[in-house]
Amino acid sequence: MIDLQTRTAPPRAGALRRAAPALLGYAAVRALGLLALVLWSAARDKSAYTLLTARWDALWYVRVAELGYGYEVRLPNGDVHSNLAFFPLLPWLERLVAAVSPLSYADGGFVVSLAASLAAAWGIFAVADHVHGRRAGVCAVLLWAVLPVGIVQSMAYSESLFTALAAWSLYAVLTGRWVTAGALALAAGLTRPVGAAVVAALWAAAIASFVAERRAAPGGPGGRAASRARRAAGMLLAPLGTAGYVLWVGHRTGAGPLGYLDVQAGWRNGFDGGYAFARFVAGRFVSFPSALAGAGLVLGVASVVWLYAVGVRQRQPLALLVYSGAVTLLALCASSYFGSKPRLLMPAFPLLLPLALLLARARPRRSAVVLGVLAVVGAVYGAFWLNGSGPP
């Protein structure tokens, strides 16, 4: 019931022109979000730029870029926060920007994030356009831009960089460019632990392609040998980023192949099947004010599950279903800080495709009004959020 076929990508000439409405709309939404942040921060006598580049994880990435790995903080309760928990591609790019320009490492992180967010928007458009057409592609990009936590796309965090690499890797899978897909999956695996989701998507699609090819022409001639070789090469490349860094951390800590799990445990991060998150949600219902938040969390999780189920019914390509399913599973079933979960779900952009298709089929004026309202709400919420608890 799942479309496993790949279609040839459109010619490169005109690809940017085709994506231009999505990219211009994305830039406008993000500019609105940054303007709201600047105004809100100024009213609170805070620096919007500091909030974007020098708080929470952004500081850890800068320390990796500046000092390398080995920095850690020991908390009074015995927990150890090590910068080995942060994958290296973003700090490498921050260091590169600082080396070739007068910008600081923090500035470099901001520049990389801005460029990567545009690349991510283009990649999301390419995937949605390939699956559902141009209008759905534009709507998918704008829906990703107006997410309540969309301000993270402009922060010196790794979400934008990872989403860009993941989206283009998935697009390469959908268009049969297996070596490119593998190389991009490798890079995604050097960006965030959830790079494993990109690897799983590529492997699932490649195996399904091998099986379908064999069933279509059992024992046939070897004319497809080159295609099979490229597919196998992509499969071999894909896990090297994630596996390479995890194994290096294990060697660095002396804890063996599972040493990275010990590093994450120091941050109280782990995979418990969602038990800790379920307890957290259940704990919201002990009193009336917090019960509203608990109901919101339940509704949010139910919405994510519903969107995934709709994607299955709409026969999304296997690679997209595996990717979004893995990202969602890792986000919801991790025992990490619960306020981070919306941010961790942000790379799961295929979940937005059913809504994008719905908006694409609606009257343009109605879709514009819906997206405009969401953009304003998202900009205000992002400014409020970043000046408050923010994304840890």
Q: Is the pTM of this model over 0.95?
A: no
- pLDDT for 1 equals 41
Residue 72 phi/psi, 5° resolution? -150, 160
Residues 6 or more apart whose Cβ sits within 8 Å of residue 318: 2, 3, 4, 201, 204, 205, 208
User: Quick check: 359 and 370 in contact, CB under 8 A?
Assistant: yes
Please give the structure tokens belonging to residue 125: 């458009």
Q: How many secondary structure helices (H) and strands (E) does the chain include?
A: 18, 2
CA distance 270 to 264: 7
List the chain residues with pLDDT less than 50: 1-5
Do residues 169 and 198 make contact, with C-beta atoms less than 8 angstroms apart? Answer: yes
The predicted-structure confidence for 353-370, as pLDDT tens digits, reads as follows 999 999 999 999 999 999
What is the secondary structure of 223-249 as a DSSP string? GGHHHHHHHHHHHHHTTHHHHHHHHHH
* The predicted structure's pLDDT at residue 274: 77
Q: What is the pLDDT, as a whole number, of residue 2?
A: 44
Q: State whether residue 88 is helix, strand or coil.
A: coil
What is the distance between the alpha carbons of residues 314 and 1, in angstroms, rounded to a whole number?
9
pLDDT of amino acid 9? 58
Residue 71 main-chain phi, psi, to 5 deg:
-80, 135
